[in-house]
Amino acid sequence: MKKIKIKYSVSLFFLLIFFVGCATKEPIKSSSAIVLFKTKNMNFYDQGFINHFKSHISLQVFEVGHQVLELKVSPQRICRSTFKCMHSKAFNAKFLHKSYEDDFLYQLLKKKKIYHKDKKNKIFIKVKYVK
């Protein structure tokens, strides 16, 4: 009887892990937007999507139906489809400016109205949501 209970418990555990691990992560909020991202190293002005998840925000930009940028932004790291994840501070130094706070982009993308203009560092980020 004891072997049956253990076998049943182990089977149930693996079944739960299988279903939870394979479940798709649905965004809490998804919005279509026109994204303007102009820095020294990145220039985009195209249609995109911003998806809010529990742990991160996903920014996708499309040009003529092809994805040209995908960023998964969390407070501590930023992942881009063309490179491995990097710490937010390193991303800021490479693509924005080293003086920005670590979670700058994450906090910016959480806002309802996204408009950031930094004349000194020649950075302009604007997102206009499409309704």
Residue 7 predicted with pLDDT over 90? no
Quick check: is 39 in a domain? Answer: yes
The neighbour count for residue 50, using CB atoms within 10 Å, is 23
Q: Which domain holds residue 70?
A: 29-129
Instruction: Give per-residue pLDDT as tens, 54-100.
Output: 889 999 988 888 888 888 999 999 998 766 889 999 999 998 999 99
pTM, two decimals, is: 0.74
Domains held by the chain: number: 1
Decide if 10 is inside a domain.
no
Q: Is residue 11 part of a domain?
A: no
pLDDT above 70: percentage of residues in the chain? 79
